[in-house]
Structure 1
Amino acid sequence: MKGERESFMDIDAVLNYFATYGLTLLFVIVFLEYLNLPGLPAGIIMPAAGILASRNNQSIVLVVFISVVAGVLGSIVLYLIGYYGGAILLDKLGLKFPKVQPTIRKSSTILNEKGLFGVFLCRLLPVLRTIVSIIAGSVRMNFFKFLIYSTPGIFLWNLGFIFTGYFFGDVFLK
């Protein structure tokens, strides 16, 4: 029961930060999350943003829009990192962190088999959704096509988490 209470305190702390810093905090955290940096995962951040939007009668459309813009911008940064040094980076990453190699291989396989549609598919899968940007850049995928296939996947992923918080968040917090 203690661990259960701690997780509720965590979500309450996140809600307090959102109440203080608003949509700016959402943008920064989602941007960093799409850069695959450690921190608070989307499974906590985006539902919390949905809960806060529901409690404060904020526009759910605006919350989703800001999260998608942040996700796309984070993905662009990783794409560019992949484009200008991705193969070397992926090799070093795989050597330093062997547990990452299967994720890199799986993402590469999906891109090779499905092409651009693979970018969309990877956006809907945990872990792969952030790694795919580096791989797409490293294989020199067309940047604009990358964006065209990334954005709907980012939208659906973020929408699912934010809507869950918006419509069901208070039920889970009781």
Structure 2
Amino acid sequence: MGIQELTQYFTQYGAIFVFVIVLLEYMNLPGFPAGIIMPLAGIWAARGQIGFLTVMALSAAAGLLGSWILYFLGRLGGDAFFRFYIKKFPKHRELLEKNIDVLRRKGPIGVFVSKLLPMVRTLVSIPAGMISMDFAKYTISSLMGVVLWNLVFIGAGYFLGDSVWNLLT
């Protein structure tokens, strides 16, 4: 999928396109990576096609919603969900087990830090639910990590704006 196609989707579907892609990314579902969509959304904001704060709010809401979904899958399904997920994605077993250990030791700070690490950031929600981490603490630490991560990517697109756009098109 090229930049022109992404621009066409953004033009056709607007901000909902950004929301859906970021939501899917935070649910750890395959698709077009939000790490590409978010900088493009920043570029669109720099070009006046969407507000910067609007993109930040949408991406944060999508990231938090995706994180909540995985948290509750972990909390409600616990071990059964873990076994199913590992069967589907066996390479993630070691990473999930490490996340569980870190979360037991570090709590909400472990969630915040994990939200800033590639690949771990989407998977940390499952073990947080499995260990029944306090939902309010989980939400606050998760939201802080999501906002910081998204700010870096959207901000990069926004501040590099036209110079990046000219390279891509």
2:69 is aligned with 1:63: no
Q: Deviations 1:72-131 (Å, cap 9, x if unpaired)?
A: 111111111111103221123224432111221232232123111001011001111111
TM-score, L = length of structure 1:
0.88
TM-score, L = length of structure 2:
0.90
Q: Distance in 2 between matches of 1:57 and 1:18?
A: 10
Percent same amino acid at aligned positions?
48
2:150 is aligned with 1:143: no
Contact 2:47 2:161 in 1 (8 A): no
Contact 1:110 1:122 in 2 (8 A): no
Shift of 1:149: 0.8
Provide structure 2 residue ranges, at least 5 long, that are not aligned to the other structure.
none
Q: Which residue of 1 aligns with 2:113?
A: 121
Q: Which residue of 2 aligns with 1:6?
A: none
Q: Which residue of 1 aligns with 2:32?
A: 40
The amino acid that maps onto 1:139 is I
Secondary structure, counterpart of 2:2 in structure 1: helix
Q: Distance in 1 between matches of 2:71 and 2:103?
A: 14
The 10-residue stretch of structure 1 (93-102 or 19-28) with the greater mean CA deviation from structure 2: 93-102
Contact 2:42 2:156 in 1 (8 A): yes
Query: What RMSD in Å do the two structures reach over aligned CA positions?
Result: 1.6
Q: Which residue of 1 aligns with 2:151?
A: 159
Secondary structure, counterpart of 1:130 in structure 2: helix
Q: Which residue of 2 aligns with 1:12?
A: 4
Structure 1 segments, 4+ long, off by >3 Å, are none
* C-alpha spacing 1:59/1:37, structure 2 compared with 1 (3 Å): same
Shift of 1:33: 1.3
The amino acid that maps onto 2:140 is I
Secondary structure, counterpart of 2:118 in structure 1: coil
Count, aligned residues = 166
The amino acid that maps onto 1:122 is S
Shift of 1:18: 1.0
* C-alpha spacing 1:98/1:164, structure 2 compared with 1 (3 Å): same
Contact 1:18 1:26 in 2 (8 A): yes
Provide structure 1 residue ranges, at least 5 long, that are not aligned to the other structure.
1-8
Q: 2:163 aligns with which of 155, 171, 174?
A: 171
Shift of 1:24: 0.9
Contact 1:103 1:127 in 2 (8 A): no
